[in-house]
Structure 1
C-alpha cells in the first residue's frame, strides 16, 4: 500500500494562508527565516502562523546560511517541528542542529546535473528536498518558481525520503507525482511561488487545486 503523499506549502506569512494550507490537507507548513527571501517572516508573524498550524501540520523553519545561534533562538521563540537548511550549510552544521537543537533536518539539494542527485545520499540530514538551482547571481536559494529535469533524480539510490520542489504548480504537480512515485524514496512535494497570487501572498484556490492535483496523481 502506497504511503500518503506529503504536501508542503512553504513561504507562509499570514494566518489565513496557513489555514488554507491545512484545510486543503497539507501536512507541512514552511516558515522562511532566510533574510534575503521576500517571504521572510518576523518572529511575530511566525508565531501567528504557528498558532494556526499547531496540532494540524508540521511547522518547518527554513534557514539559508543563518548562524546556528539564530536557528536555535528561532526555535525557542516559535516552536518548530523541523529545520530546513536551504543554503550552503555543511554536514557538521546539519548534524549540530539535530544533536543540539533536537530537530530533524530537511536538507535542500539543488540539482542541475545527475551527479548532484547521485551524491545527495552522502549529505547529513533526516530527509532531502530536491530543488532547482537558483539563477546565476541570485542571493536567494529557493522560491524562484523554476522547475528542473526530474529525470536527473533517477540516479538517487538513497533510502532517505525526499520531497520534490522547484517550479511546481497546480498545472504540473500531477505530472511530477506520476513521474516520481515509481521511486521508492519519493515522499512528497513542496510548493511556494506556484500557489501565490503575488509574491509572498498565497491563494487559497491555488493551494486547493495543487493538493487535489497531487493526490489525484498518487
Structure 2
C-alpha cells in the first residue's frame, strides 16, 4: 500500500483533519523561512492530539544537531526529515541515537538519484525543490533500487499516474492540500482518496 504523507500541518484543526483521514505520516515544518513554520514546542502540543498510528515528522533545513535532537526529545516528532545540505555524517549521528531519518534530494539530474540511492538515511524523499509545488522529470528516477517518498507537485489529480508509473513507497503533499495557505479538509480528503483508489486499481 502506497504510504501517504501530508506535510505543513500547524493548527489544531489540521491534526483533527489528519486523525479523520489517517495518513501514515504528517509533517511539521521547522524551517523559519517557511510560511508553514511552527515551533517544536507548538508541534509537541499538536502531537499530543495526533492519532498514535500516525507518525509525526519534523522537517529541518540545515538545523543544528542540538535543535534536531531537542525536537525529538520533547515529543514533537518521532522522525526527522532533512531538507538542507546535511552531510552523511550528520545523518549517521542521528541514526546512532535511534532517530529515524528521511533525507530529501532535489532531483535535477540522474546524479541526484545516485546520491539518494547511496544515502545512509532510513528513507529518501525525491523532490523538485523546497516546497515548490511543481513536479520534476520523473524519467530521471530510472530504476532506483531503494524505496522512496515522491514529493514535488503530487496532487489528487496526478497521484494515480505517479503510483502506476513509479510505484513509490509513498507520496508526500503539502501545497495542494491548502486553500489560502491553510490546510483544507476537502482537498486533503481528495488526495487521500486518490492515492487509495489508485492503489486498489493497481
Same fold per TM (> 0.5)? yes
CA contact (8 A) 1:14 1:48 kept: no
Distance 1:83 1:44 in 2: 15
Shift of 1:48: 2.7
Correspondent of 1:196 among 164, 173, 178:
178
Correspondent of 1:51 among 39, 48, 52:
48
Distance 2:49 2:148 in 1: 25
- TM-score w.r.t. the length of structure 1 is 0.86
Distance 2:34 2:119 in 1: 24
Corresponding position of 1:76:
73
Structure 2 unaligned spans of 5+: none
Question: Would you say 1:148 and 2:167 are equivalent positions?
Answer: no
CA contact (8 A) 1:13 1:41 kept: yes
CA contact (8 A) 2:59 2:81 kept: yes
Taking only aligned residues, the RMSD between alpha carbons, in angstroms, comes to: 1.4
CA contact (8 A) 1:106 1:129 kept: yes
Distance 1:197 1:56 in 2: 26
Matched residue of 2:56: which SS? strand
Mean Cα displacement is larger for which, 41-50 or 161-170?
41-50
Shift of 1:54: 4.3
Distance 2:143 2:105 in 1: 14
CA contact (8 A) 1:13 1:31 kept: yes
Distance 2:103 2:180 in 1: 27
Matched residue of 1:52: which SS? coil
1:22-33 aligned at under 5 Å gives the runs 22-33=19-30
Corresponding position of 1:169:
155
Question: Would you say 1:206 and 2:178 are equivalent positions?
Answer: no
Question: Would you say 1:96 and 2:93 are equivalent positions?
Answer: yes
Correspondent of 2:13 among 5, 16, 40:
16
CA contact (8 A) 2:125 2:151 kept: yes
Aligned residues: 199
Correspondent of 2:124 among 125, 128, 134:
128
Distance 1:168 1:38 in 2: 19
Distance 1:35 1:79 in 2: 16
CA contact (8 A) 2:45 2:76 kept: no
Distance 2:45 2:163 in 1: 31
